[in-house]
Amino acid sequence: NASVGCATNSRGAASIWQGAHRLLSPGEMHRPWVSLGVIAASALFEGLSFRTAFREYRRVVRGRTVRGRPIGLWSFLKGSKDPNVFATLLEDGAALIGLGLAALGVIGAGLMGLAWADGAASVAIGVLLLLITIFCSLRMRDSRLGRAWIAIREDEVAAAAMGIPLMRTKTW
């Protein structure tokens, strides 16, 4: 969905901006244990959701191969036709990585006295969000719906002649 991509993109840019600001003028972190508690609780819930999606991924690919090799997670994400499993794996996986980066930033800044660590973690999380946005945008462009949107944009009459339902595709 384009609105989700734009929102994630803006969050990534805001995280990079905030991280750069904190790198240039680092401040003291107050109560890092509270931050770590929130991160731990978030990781627990994201991990449970990721585990469910990962089990579904393993169920789907069980016994299947590509060129004689088992289907890996990255291959599944690039080629999956099931948006529910794909989106959950990608979103929860990115969230777990982001929470790990945030925890490293809090530990570094709050417990080890490395003032730059919090800003560096924010920048890393922002870059992660931007990469996820790019990946999802490319997947959307290459999907069946994305190809239909491109066909309609290029020549609406030809797209209708090919059987693309214009109204349903435009309002998706």
Question: What integer pLDDT is reported at residue 6 of this predicted model?
Answer: 53
Tell me the per-residue pLDDT of 113-151, one tens digit each, with 9 for 90 and over.
Answer: 898 999 999 999 999 999 988 888 787 777 777 778 778
How far is Cα 54 from Cα 93, in angstroms, rounded to an integer? 10
d(CA 97, CA 76): 19
DSSP codes of every residue in 96-145? HHHHHHHHHHHIIIIIS--THHHHHHHHHHHHHHHHHHHHHHHHHHHSHH
- Identify the pLDDT of residue 9: 63
Q: Name residue, tokens 């003291």.
A: 28
* 26 neighbors 123 (Cβ within 8 angstroms): no
Q: Are 122 and 22 in contact (CB under 8 A)?
A: yes
pLDDT of residue 172: 63
pLDDT value at position 63? 81
Which residue bears the tokens 């299947």?
Answer: 64
Give the containing element (helix H, strand E) for 66.
Answer: strand 65-66
In this prediction, residue 144 carries a pLDDT of 72
Low-confidence spans in the chain with pLDDT less than 50: 1-3
